[in-house]
Amino acid sequence: MFMKTNKLVQGAMIAAMFGVMSILNTMSGTMFDTLIGYFMVVPFVYYSYHSRLRESLLVALVSLFIVFLQGQLMFSLIALETCGFGIVIGECLKRKKSGGVMLFASFIVSFVINILIYEVFAGVLGISMHKEMVQMYDIIVKQVPAFKQRLSVTAFTSLIPLAILFMSVLESYVVILLTQVVLMRVVKNKIQFPAFFHIAYFQLNRIVGYIVLVVYLVCQALLARYNHVVLRYLDVIAMVIIIVDGMSVVSFYLLEKNPKLAGISIILLFIPPINMALLLVGIIDIISDLKEKIMYNRKVKEGGM
């Protein structure tokens, strides 16, 4: 009886928190809606982990109803995403699923909500993904003029679906990492995550790495003659995977030498000349297995081999 009452009180507190956050979001001029949504995932994950799926869904419905009464469509969608993240991550932790399953399930939630925001309700919300992509293109061209010769603005804006896809993956990663960091500090060892979601521990399978590298090189060769949208999509996907692998190598090296700088590789991703250096590091890692050699040298120094 006490456990049921405790769960009821916790669920009511979470629903009330959504209501309070919705009011604060309105008072702040909707400046922090996304940030509020990210941090609200943490208590929802904790509740979902200690509750049954039916109870979590009930709390989610009540919370969404309270937010919807405020009449804010954008925050309602963010709240829907928050509840989705909370239930998915909580259930994955409770059922001891792998990190890959957790990331994929969270990605599905993020991707669906982003489609609703940037495609379905874009007109109502006053969001133009096309306009934002054009502005981004202009910024890149100002920094790297040669980019205009390589890719036209029309071709760049045709990558909008791919941009939403990558944005969803990144958002899922950030939410899981934030949740893990907060819960590890608050509840310590009471909730066990499958693995630490740090970019330094990203490991690209050797065979997959070779396939991605071949796809990238073939697309680069074909794009010189054929400007086809499928080739552009494959080229961007392969390039991003290789860059992420390069980021992983740099982060792992910095984690060994100076842990405080380990996260700087994510910032380097958004600096045009340097992200090409990350691409080169990724290619070197795929060919020479650079990261494995760094890990091997560390084990030798520690006397583990």
Residue 148 within any structural domain of the chain:
no
Name the range with the highest mean pLDDT among 23-27, 72-76, 80-84, 180-184. 80-84
Do residues 46 and 123 share a domain?
Answer: yes
| Predicted pLDDT of residue 199 | 72
In residues, how long is the chain? 305
Q: Which two tokens stand for residue 252?
A: 């792992």
How far, in Å, CA of 101 to CA of 205, rounded?
A: 17
How far, in Å, CA of 69 to CA of 76, rounded?
A: 9
Determine contact, residues 78/41, Cβ cutoff 8 Å: no
Do residues 207 and 177 share a domain?
Answer: no
Residue range 284-303: average pLDDT? 65
Residue 141 within any structural domain of the chain:
no
How far, in Å, CA of 173 to CA of 179, rounded?
A: 10
Please say if the pLDDT value at position 286 is more than 80.
yes
Do residues 269 and 121 share a domain?
Answer: no
Do residues 204 and 158 share a domain?
Answer: no
Please say if the pLDDT value at position 290 is more than 60.
yes
218-265 residue pLDDT tens:
998 888 788 777 888 888 888 888 888 888 888 887 877 776 666 666
Do residues 105 and 226 share a domain?
Answer: no
Residue 281 within any structural domain of the chain:
yes
Do residues 253 and 190 share a domain?
Answer: no
Do residues 204 and 242 share a domain?
Answer: yes
**pTM (two decimals):** 0.77
Name the pLDDT band for 266 (thresholds 50, 70, 90).
low
For residue 188, the domain's CATH number is 1.10.1760
Do residues 184 and 286 share a domain?
Answer: no
Rounded to whole angstroms, the maximal C-alpha distance in the chain is 71
Q: 80 lies in which domain range?
A: 1-127+153-194
Determine contact, residues 55/36, Cβ cutoff 8 Å: no
Do residues 103 and 230 share a domain?
Answer: no
Do residues 208 and 184 share a domain?
Answer: no
Which of 31, 121, 43, 33 has the alpha carbon at shortest distance from 83?
43
Do residues 21 and 118 share a domain?
Answer: yes
Residue 277 within any structural domain of the chain:
yes
Count of structural domains within the chain: 2
